[in-house]
Amino acid sequence: MSHADHKHHVASLPLLWATFFALVALTVLTVVMGTSDQIQLGWLDVWVVLFIATVKASLVALIFMHLAADKLFNGVVLVSALVFMGIFLGMCLMDSSNYLAEQQAYVEGQQALLGPTGS
């Protein structure tokens, strides 16, 4: 029986609490960044917001979900899911802005066919 428990990583309470407060602090930071009129980063803003979210997500994954102390393979599973998600998003994003004009032509053609009332 004893072989079961020594393998498991038990997270310490101070660490859990510290993680929680870090997450709350980051949430407050991102809200401030997202709403304040003083801080305007322009195009960078979405990336900063996403970066903060990723830091938060990493904290949850590494500490709350024990990935930091877990078998490597479980982390590989999560990371590979994210990689494939990245491929999916990346390819779609790369492509989508290129056919907007055609789509617009289609919509206009449909509207012309249907007349002014059609929609």
Segment 55 to 114, residues that bind other proteins, using CB under 8 A: 56-57, 60-61, 63-66, 70-71, 73-74, 77-78, 80-82, 84-85, 87-89, 91-100, 102-104, 106-108, 110-111
Number of residues that bind other proteins (CB under 8 A): 71
Helix (H, G, I), strand (E, B) or coil at 3: helix
Interhelix angle 44-59/13-35, nearest 10 degrees = 170
End-to-end Cα distance, the chain: 69
Sign of the Cα torsion 49, 51, 55, 56 reads positive
Question: From CA 45, how far away is CA 34, in angstroms rounded?
Answer: 8
Does the protein bind other proteins through residue 11 (CB under 8 A)? yes
Residues 18 and 63: beta-carbon distance below 8 Å: no
CB of 25 vs other proteins, minimal distance in Å? 11
Query: Which residues, numbered 15-34, are part of the site for other proteins (CB under 8 A)?
Result: 16-17, 19-20, 23-24, 27-28, 30-31, 33-34
Question: From CA 104, how far away is CA 96, in angstroms rounded?
Answer: 13
